[in-house]
Amino acid sequence: MGSIRNKGRPLAAHQAPLCTRTHRIGSLLLVFATFFLTRLLERSFPSCPDLSRHHHVPTAQSHVVFTGGGSLFWPERGYGSHLSLKIYVYDEDEIDGLKSLMYGRDGTITTEACLKGQWGTQVKIHKLLLKSRYRTTKKEEADLFFVPAYAKCVRIMGGLNDKEIDQTYVKVISQMPHFRRSGGRDHIFVFPSGGGAHLFKSWATYINRSVILTPEGDRTDKKDTSSFNTWKDIIIPGNVDDRMTGTGATLVQPLPLSKRKYLANYLGRAQGKVGRLQLVELAKKFPEKLESPELKFSGPEKLGRIEYFEHLRNAKFCLAPRGESSWSLRYYESYFVECIPVILSDQIELPFQNAIDYTQISIKWPSTQIGPQLLDYLESIPDEHIEKMIAHGKHVRCLWVYAPESVSCSALHGIMWELQRKVRQFHQSAETFWLHNGSIVNRNLVEFSNWKPPLPLP
């Protein structure tokens, strides 16, 4: 053994050099052999798929990312690397009462009529899910169950009154064994207007555990309790006119910033709401900066859809105050005329907040600060910054569009990702029991496959 003291001493003159000609030749042969072996393996085996391209695997980012081609990358945190869902959609003929919730007591209300207006999302989501690759026709393998109903439209058009809507929902639910089995936890309902689930008067008794899709968040200012729960429910975008969201020629094209007449606008009825009344008065004091015409919703002075969007596009900022409820369709419409939305609704909840950085595409201003200071602030923002926010908004606005699943970015994609986060494993309810062999039974020890509707409800 050599002494530790010999460490670090120079090689003796008679020792052979560490790197000889033979070593060099051997190293080159090893490099060439490795190269040819690698090429041989590449030809023998197919290349591994690029998961980030084929399955939209997100990176560690916390927000939605778009590729140059417009493909959508959802953040992995909290969502998973790819969509894996199975949704059962109840057929309108399967449950007695569903047709009444879709077409009214007499069956005279059409799907086309219910596609119009802010409540059109209840029809669009249903139709898109019917064609979705995540739909299953087997209840036993479903993660979630979708209950189609156009109740808001049916009520507006006189197809059912409030009492009838309440009774019909209860009747429908009592015929769903899977609803009773899970306590409604894996069932999805759409309530597309400002009232949210309050349209179903008894919602708190029957569907307080179900997944609710709605554009409306907190309503504690109007009701004793809010039907929206951030843990289980999903905020969805409002229903923007399809003629403004299409990929081809739209109803109205945006104007360059330099050609817009106003700094800001508010296009809506005052409805006696404080914030809206303040904007109307502010427009009277600063008519060269803020446009806020008194809109007519009937008669010869009523604005048509083209005229409405032509007004909307004529300002740099589109103001979106709260009305009867906290959400505003105007918020979503503004993106399609490339106008920066200014939210003046403190309790508003926005869609896909886990994945979208709203500070890059909009402004939220305190509703208690509506006055000249608001206009001064908006006037201080450089056009360069406005253009940057518009560019970000143009990328994200595809998430407000209820387009077919084949489109790489749509409201449906966002909803599906959010639904995946809502799939919960504790699907058993207080009325569900199981035995040693894994069979599911009710209180009377009747196996689940033999449960007969109507089922007892709380």
What are 45-68's pLDDT values in tens digits? 333 333 233 333 334 467 777 666
What CA–CA distances, in Å, run from 222 to 217, 314, 421? 12, 34, 29
Query: Quick check: 426 pLDDT over 70?
Result: no
**Phi/psi class of residue 352: alpha, beta or left (left: φ > 0; alpha: ψ in -120 to 50)?**
left
Mean pLDDT lowest among 18-32, 183-197, 317-331: 18-32
Predicted confidence band of residue 188 (pLDDT cuts 50, 70, 90): very high
Provide the pLDDT confidence category of residue 16 given band limits of 50, 70 and 90.
very low
At residue 3 the predicted structure's pLDDT band, cuts being 50, 70 and 90, is: very low
Would you state the pLDDT for residue 269? 85
Burial class (CB in 10 A: 0-12, 13-18, 19+), 63: middle
- Say if strands 234-235 and 440-441 run parallel, antiparallel, or are unpaired: unpaired
Q: Which residues contact 40 (CB under 8 A, 6 or more apart)?
A: none
**What are the DSSP calls for 86-137, one per residue?**
-EEE--TTTSTTHHHHHH-TTS---HHHHTSSGGGHHHHHHHHHHT-TTEES
- Mean pLDDT along residues 80-106: 95
The contacts of residue 286 (CB under 8 Å, 6+ apart) are 372, 375
Cα 428 from Cα 430, distance rounded (Å) = 7
Report whether pLDDT(449) > 70. yes
Within 13 Å and on the Cβ side, how many CA atoms surround 425? Answer: 0
Q: What DSSP character marks residue 449?
A: G
pTM for the whole structure: 0.83
For range 64-81, the mean pLDDT? 72
Taking Cα atoms as reference points, which of 155, 220, 177 lies closest to residue 88?
177
* pLDDT at 367 exceeding the cut of 80: yes
Residues of the chain above pLDDT 70, percent: 82
Please provide the DSSP assignment of 313-331 as one string. TTEEEEEEE--SSS--HHH
* H helix runs in 208-255, sequence order: 242-245
Residue type, position 113, single letter: A
How do the domains of the chain map onto residue ranges?
72-239, 242-401
pLDDT in tens, 115-156: 988 889 999 999 999 999 999 999 999 999 999 999 999 999
Q: Tell me: the pLDDT tens digits for 407-416?
A: 889 999 999 9
In this prediction, residue 194 has a pLDDT band, given cuts at 50, 70 and 90, of confident
Could you tell me which CATH number the domain at 242-401 has? 3.40.50.2000
- Predicted pLDDT of residue 246: 80
Q: If you average pLDDT over every residue of the chain, what do you get? A: 85
Q: Is 317 left (phi over 0), alpha (psi -120 to 50) or beta?
A: beta
